A and B are shown apart, each in its own frame.
Chain A
Amino acid sequence: MEVSPAETALAATIADSARTGEALAVWGNASKHRMLRPVRVTRSVSSRDLTGITLYAPKELVISARAGTPLAEIERTLAQSGQHLIAEPPDFSLLMGTAGPQTLGGVVATNLSGPRRVAWGAMRDHVLGVRAINGAGEIVHSGGRVLKNVTGLDLCKLLTGSHGTLGLLTEITLKVLPAPERTGSLVLRGQDAARAVTSMSAALGSPYGVSAAAYLPAAAAKAIGQDSAMTLIRIEDFSASVAYRLDRLRAELGAHGESSDLLDDAMSRWIWRMIANAAPLDAAHEEAVWRVSVRPSAGPAVMAALVPLGAKIFMDWGGGLVWIAGPASVAAHQAVTDAARAAAGTWMVFRAPEALRLAVDVIPPEPAPLARIGVRVKAAMDPRGILNPGRMRAGA
């Protein structure tokens, strides 16, 4: 990974702020700035000018690019060699109401993964190497460009999902895989949430390599033009395997007599893109959006607790990811976090007006001993606390 003049300049800017103690907002293209808490500072640094794919070795299943490279450019390049990003990162521009194309650095800094996450891992699972500028303005690299690497502490994972609070990512290397020849889906119609999760657990616990499983209650299905509750189960593989495996799943899961049908390649790709981007949520502009992650069997209980309050809901990751839209109020937030806690899960305010994001914890507080370690790790990466202050937690 070569040092670029633009990277050196960014490092100098951050080093400068470290000297003066002036805080910086850390961005790529700011397409996800409505996530978590607002950063209320006047100066900012962005990786958006660090662009370009620096290494692509399809036979070695790796791609490296500077952090400001638009994700779409990376996806196009991979597609030309018949490969894809394993974690299926979503495009939340509609949900977030932002226009700028998301960058590779932004996707990694927020660790956002799509439906394939349940079977194939998150963005963080496929980050092989990073270069970043820490809060002292020092350039550090971790990991590398090979698939297996346990040399030293895994700062790739620490930086992934740290929302720019520990460093500004400047270059990232990802593991990639061959894109499937074909995508197909089995749809079970009219199930309630509990039955749907039972079906999805059976599918994900089957030997057929299911790559995604989601449940759209009737309202969520309607939001994308479908007419009944849908339990969707996806297979991605060689054509013959897709046909064979969907047949087996249909036979094995159809025992309850629900009507079922198969979606072809084009329809499958479209509907899973909708699910990845949370389109079935149909969140109104003024509403808040939460993501709750629980053990899949607890998904229906989270739904049951929130539906009576008027929340819009659907489930991905076999029931483990519950998407929720509802009033941007402290009371609604309390109901969501209560439901997540009752299910021993985790949660995140994914999108909300600033007032709510400033008023509540946007992610769960950590137990005190871990919070103390967190403060020291933050200080180890960003001694003056200048990078994205308050982005994840108030006062941190």
Chain B
Amino acid sequence: MIRQLEPKADVLAGRERIVAGLRAILPAGEWGDGVIAEAVRLKPYETDGLSAYRQPPLAVVLPETTEQVAALLKFCQANGVRVIPRGAGTSLSGGALPMEDSVVMGLMRMNRILDIDYADRCAVVQAGVTNIGITNAVAGNGFFYAPDPSSQLACMIGGNVNMNSGGAHCLKYGVTANNLLGLKIVTIDGEIIDVGGAYLDAAGYDWLGLLTGSEGQLAVVTEVTVRILRSPEGARAMLAAFNSNEIAGACVDAIISSGIIPVALEFMDRPAIHACEAFAHAGYPLDAEAMLIIEVEGSLAEQDALLDRIKDICGKFEPLSLKVSQSAEESLAIWKGRKGAFGAVGRISPDYLCMDGTIPTSRLAEVLRRIGEMSDACGLKVANIFHAGDGNLHPLIMFDANDPASFQRAETFGADILKLCVEVGGCLTGEHGVGVEKRDLMGVQFSAIELEQMRRIKGAFDPDWLLNPSKVFPLLEVATPALANAA
């Protein structure tokens, strides 16, 4: 079990009083009970997308309005109760893992789209609206919301903001932080604050940028103003298969150097190709060591022109095959394999850990070779999926959770991969967040002074360290939060 901060004895002892206090703020409404405290009903909240770690919370609250969020936070602060904000619970880094003495604040009932403005190209949505829900709401007018994490059917915009989620198309469109205009947040002392709005570049400090990716440690997000974009005239994908990871990596460099920025540029190694093909039947080349999915946008003529140029470039790298999608259905099938990669690996291995480091793309071949060596050494298989254009690597480490030794080896293997990412000039996490999973590796990437600097900023928002306090920072470092707030 992952270590967390010591539960507060007074909070555990005061459980009944605290639950009664929460119920007084959140009486049963049209959705039913807004406070969950029965063991059996807490079960679904004991974990998130990183299901290796589990911990039932003290209680779960499901507010329906920003004002309720404010009243609940005020109550929690007054009673010294820790709060774990939660969207859909799809975090792959354990960002929503509860603590024994914590209240999980689920935002999923705040799922309304409040305003869509096509002329000004923005929408205001509540935190519990799903990522795809935004795109679905505006697609009829030809618009979309750009960041598209693989979990986009389930994950919620509030969680996307807190983790600064990416996706397969951020090479062109950027990550969550690049697609936001404003937030409505509630601080731990129950203050409701609007940050930014339906305009660009609010004056003063960039609170919007600081809050984005803050992993639920600064405030609770209840509303989000997002940029919506007009969809391109069309898009088409192609597959290119190569004899080695090195050759495919060199081809990626050549495409970028040519001045073309494809809207997506995805890399899969042999184990990933096989797993995904068995799942999606997308026509992936099973004889290849590495494969690229390359997508371009524009009119049909523009797509043809770009794909011709890309085919010419790929041709110089002795491709095993080049296949341009001939229809929208074929493009969908190509993406079905990639977006279903996690499920596909789940079919061939009882369990897997999904890593998320980023590396300079020039180091790709070397990093994949060393991951292969680590895999051989620890006896665990790994499939690599990679946002090749931006260097974000997703090794999927396969293990068997019923075998504790296997899980432990997988954790060590994962940590070694992330250390390697930092060693070659990259970082621990490109889009999944630090959460609880990578917390103890933060010292690999940051100095003690830097961790202390970030902790002081968290303390500026949350002086008592009540918001998601067991995450992001190594626990030893948080053992004396009072000291961290002294400044």
**Interface of A with B (CB < 8 Å)?**
57-62, 82, 111, 113, 117-118, 121-122, 124-125, 134, 138-142, 144-158, 160-162, 166, 177-179, 181, 198, 201, 204-209, 238, 240-241, 244, 293-297, 317, 320-321, 344-348, 363-364, 366-367, 369-370, 373-374, 376-377, 379-381, 383, 392
- The answer to whether A147 and B204 have CB atoms under 8 Å apart is no
Evaluate contact between A392 and B442: CB separation under 8 angstroms: no
Which residue of A111, A125, A207 is within 8 Å of B174 (Cβ)?
Answer: A125
Chain A residues, Cβ within 8 Å of B259: 82, 178-179, 181
List 15 A-B pairs, Cβ < 8 Å: A121-B178, A141-B446, A144-B358, A150-B163, A151-B438, A151-B442, A152-B446, A153-B454, A153-B458, A157-B206, A158-B206, A295-B199, A344-B197, A380-B460, A383-B487
CB neighbours (8 Å) of B164 from chain A are 150, 154
Write out the residue numbers on chain B whose beta carbons fall within 8 Å of the beta carbon of A241.
298, 302, 305
Partner of B193, one of A144, A205, A320, A370: A370
* Min C-beta distance of A93 to chain B, whole Å: 21
What 9 A-B pairs come out closest when comparing CB atoms?
A: A157-B209, A376-B460, A369-B191, A363-B203, A148-B430, A380-B456, A147-B390, A178-B259, A146-B358
- A363: chain B residues at CB < 8 Å are 203-204
In the assembled complex, the Cα of A82 lies from the Cα of B258 at a distance in Å of: 9
| A147 and B358 in contact, given A152-B446, A155-B453 (Cβ under 8 angstroms) | yes
- Give every chain B residue within 8 A of A369 (Cβ-Cβ): 187, 189, 191, 193
In the assembled complex, the CB of A247 is this many whole angstroms from the nearest CB of chain B, namely: 11
A297 touches B120 (CB 8 A): yes
- Is B69 located at the chain interface by the 8 A CB criterion? no
* Chain B 289-305 residues near chain A, CB threshold 8 A: 298-299, 301-302, 305
- Beyond A61-B256, A370-B195, whether A150 also contacts B429 by CB under 8 A is yes
The stretch that binds A, out of B45-53, B103-111, B240-248, B359-367, is B359-367
Structural contact, B206 and A124, CB atoms closer than 8 A: yes
A59's closest neighbor in chain B, by CB?
Answer: B253
Task: Please report whether the interface of chain B is mostly helix, strand, loop or mixed according to DSSP.
Answer: loop
Contact with A along B252-263 (1 / 0, CB 8 A): 010011011100
User: Are A158 and B205 in touch, CB under 8 angstroms?
Assistant: yes
A61 to B65, CA, bound (A): 43
Contacts of B143 on A, CB cut-off 8 Å? 205
Which B179-210 residues have a C-beta within 8 angstroms of A? 187, 189, 191, 193-195, 197-210
Binds A, one of B13-21, B125-133, B230-238, B409-417: B230-238
Task: Report which of B253, B302, B390, B451 forms a contact with A240, defined as CB distance below 8 A.
Answer: B302
Asked, given contacts A320-B200, A380-B460, whether A60 binds B362 with beta carbons under 8 Å apart, the answer is yes
A sample of 14 more A-B contacts (CB under 8 A), given A148-B390, A198-B119, A295-B117, is A146-B358, A146-B390, A146-B391, A147-B390, A148-B387, A148-B391, A153-B213, A157-B209, A207-B232, A209-B232, A321-B200, A344-B197, A346-B203, A373-B187
CB distance from A80 to the nearest CB of B (A): 13
A153 near B214: Cβ-Cβ < 8 Å: yes
Q: How many residues of B contact A (CB 8 A)?
A: 94
> A380, B206: Cβ atoms under 8 Å?
no
- In the complex, the answer to whether A374 meets B204 with C-beta atoms within 8 Å is yes
Q: Report A-chain residues with C-beta under 8 Å of the C-beta of B178.
A: 121, 125
**Could you tell me the distance in whole angstroms from the C-beta of A192 to the nearest C-beta in chain B?**
17
The answer to whether A294 touches B199, judged by C-beta atoms less than 8 angstroms apart, is yes
B387 to chain A, nearest CB (A): 7
B472 touches A152 (CB 8 A): yes
With both chains docked as a complex, state the minimum distance between the C-beta of A23 and any C-beta of chain B, in angstroms.
Answer: 18
Q: Which residue of A lies closest to B255 (CB)?
A: A59
By a CB distance below 8 angstroms, the chain B residues around A379 are 460, 487
B203 in contact with A348 (CB, 8 Å)? yes
Contact check, A153 vs B487: say whether CB atoms are below 8 A apart.
no
In the bound complex, residues from chain A placing their C-beta under 8 Å from that of B210 are: 153-155, 157-158
* A216 to B457 Cα, complex, angstroms: 43
The closest CB in chain A to the CB of B192 belongs to A369
**Roughly how many angstroms separate A117 CA and B199 CA in the complex, as a whole number?**
12
Closest to A364 in B: B203
Residues of A with C-beta under 8 A to B170: 148
Contact A207 B431 (CB under 8 A): no
Q: Is the CB of A151 within 8 A of B458?
A: no
> Chain B residue with minimal CB distance to A369?
B191
Asked if B434 is an interface residue, CB under 8 A from chain A, the answer is yes
Q: Which of B163, B195, B203, B459 has the most CB of A within 10 A?
A: B203
A177 vs B463: C-alpha distance when bound (angstroms): 41
Chain B residue with Cβ nearest A82: B259
The answer to whether the Cβ of B118 comes within 8 Å of any Cβ in the partner chain is: yes
B369 within 8 A of partner (CB): no
The complex places the Cα of A139 from the Cα of B446 at a distance, in Å, of 11
B361 touches A205 (CB 8 A): no
CB neighbours (8 Å) of A238 from chain B are 305
Contacting residues, chain A, for B487 (C-beta < 8 A): 379-380, 383
Contact of B152 with A by CB under 8 A: no
Task: Give the distance in Å from the alpha carbon of A296 to the alpha carbon of B117 in the complex.
Answer: 11
Q: Is the CB of A373 within 8 A of B358?
A: no
**Interface segment, B33-41, B321-329, B334-342, B420-428?**
B420-428
The answer, yes or no, to whether B177 is at the interface (CB within 8 Å) is yes
Q: Answer yes or no: B77 CB below 8 A from chain A CBs.
A: no
Chain B positions 80-133 with a Cβ under 8 Å from a chain A Cβ: 117-122
Please tell me if the beta carbons of A151 and B429 are within 8 angstroms of each other in the complex.
yes
Inter-chain contact A377/B460, CB cutoff 8 Å: yes
B56 to chain A, nearest CB (A): 28
Q: How does the 8 Å CB contact mask read for B143-171 relative to A, with 1 for contact and 0 for none?
A: 10000000000000000000110100011
CA distance A370 to B453 in the complex (A): 20
A383 nearest CB across to chain B (Å):
5
**Contact yes or no, A346 B209, CB < 8 A:** no
**Residues of chain B with a CB closer than 8 A to A244's CB:** 299, 301-302
- Answer yes or no: B461 CB below 8 A from chain A CBs: yes
When the two chains form their complex, are residues B203 and A207 in contact, meaning their CB atoms are under 8 A apart? no
Closest Cβ–Cβ distance, residue A124 to chain B (whole Å): 6
Checking A57, A150, A240 against B362 with a beta-carbon cut-off of 8 angstroms, the contacting residue is A57
Please determine whether A296 and B119 come into contact, CB atoms closer than 8 angstroms.
yes
Are the C-beta atoms of B120 and A296 separated by less than 8 Å? yes
Interchain CA distance A257-B432 in the complex, whole Å: 51
Q: Are A150 and B203 in contact (CB under 8 A)?
A: no
| Interface bits B464-479 vs A (CB < 8 Å: 1, else 0) | 0000000010000000
Query: B177–A157 contact, CB under 8 A?
Result: yes
Closest to B203 in A: A363
